[in-house]
């Protein structure tokens, strides 16, 4: 199947999500952390019904309910687009983090928040302690834990810029690896050992 035969999934704009949070009176969570949480849910193998997803997002944002209908629509779209990106064979998954127009410190902080959200979302399903996880996956999970500690304080120079881009790319690939490992197609339920027919 050629890539032209379907619409490429695309995340809602980072600023759009930030504006949604302002409109909803959310001050405790960043758009990066929210997207990390959704990505963590999906990577752990969870598939949330819309009502459950919206409640989970409200809990994260420390609000009782969404005030605006378009906030719900945007959030559900973000979830769906993230899933499509994770499932796409072309490895097009993206992190929703501040773009190059922001300072390096803001971008580093956003990446740290994204990882925190991912670890929370993944951890809700106990997958990080799953004995079936490969050694590589466990090591990658430990790396994400370290990256989540990133704090503002990096210098705005080319070296730091390249370092941050490399770390961001590493996180992206780790997430794709964890998603692939935890979302293997389940064999059919009746696939227990059977007598061969011929």
Whole-angstrom distance, CA of residue 130 vs CA of residue 147: 21
pLDDT tier for residue 150 given thresholds of 50, 70 and 90: confident
Banded pLDDT at 193 (limits 50, 70, 90): very low
pLDDT (tens digit per residue) in 43-94: 999 999 999 999 989 998 999 999 999 999 999 999 999 999 999 988 999 9
The separation between CA 150 and the C-alpha centre of its own chain, rounded to angstroms, equals 17
CA distance 96 to 2: 26
Phi-psi region of 153 (alpha: psi -120 to 50; beta: other; left: phi over 0): left
Out of 38-52, 119-133, 147-161, 183-197, least confident range: 183-197
Q: Report DSSP letters for 115-146, one per residue.
A: HHHHHHHHHTTTGGG-TTS-HHHHHHHHHHHH
Confidence of residue 159 (pLDDT cuts 50, 70, 90): low
Confidence of residue 160 (pLDDT cuts 50, 70, 90): confident
Predicted local distance difference test score (pLDDT) of residue 42: 95
């Amino acid at each position: 199947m050629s890539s032209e035969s379907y619409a490429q999934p695309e995340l809602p704009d980072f600023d759009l999500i930030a504006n949604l949070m302002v409109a909803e009176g959310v001050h405790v969570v960043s758009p990066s952390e929210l997207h990390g949480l959704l990505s963590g849910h999906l990577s752990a193998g969870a598939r949330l019904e819309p009502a459950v997803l919206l409640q989970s997002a409200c809990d994260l944002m420390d609000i009782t309910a969404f005030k605006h209908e378009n906030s719900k629509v945007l959030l559900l779209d973000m979830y769906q687009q993230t899933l499509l990106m994770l499932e796409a064979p072309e490895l097009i998954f993206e992190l929703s983090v501040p773009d190059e127009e922001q300072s390096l410190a803001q971008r580093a902080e956003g990446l740290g928040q994204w990882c925190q959200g991912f670890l929370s979302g993944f951890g809700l399903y106990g997958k990080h302690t799953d004995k079936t996880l490969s050694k590589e996956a466990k090591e990658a999970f430990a790396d994400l834990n370290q990256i989540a500690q990133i704090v503002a304080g990096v210098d705005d120079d080319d070296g730091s810029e390249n370092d941050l881009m490399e770390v961001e790319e590493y996180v992206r690939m780790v997430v794709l690896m964890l998603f692939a490992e935890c979302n293997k197609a389940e064999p059919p339920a009746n696939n227990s050992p059977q007598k061969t027919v011929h």
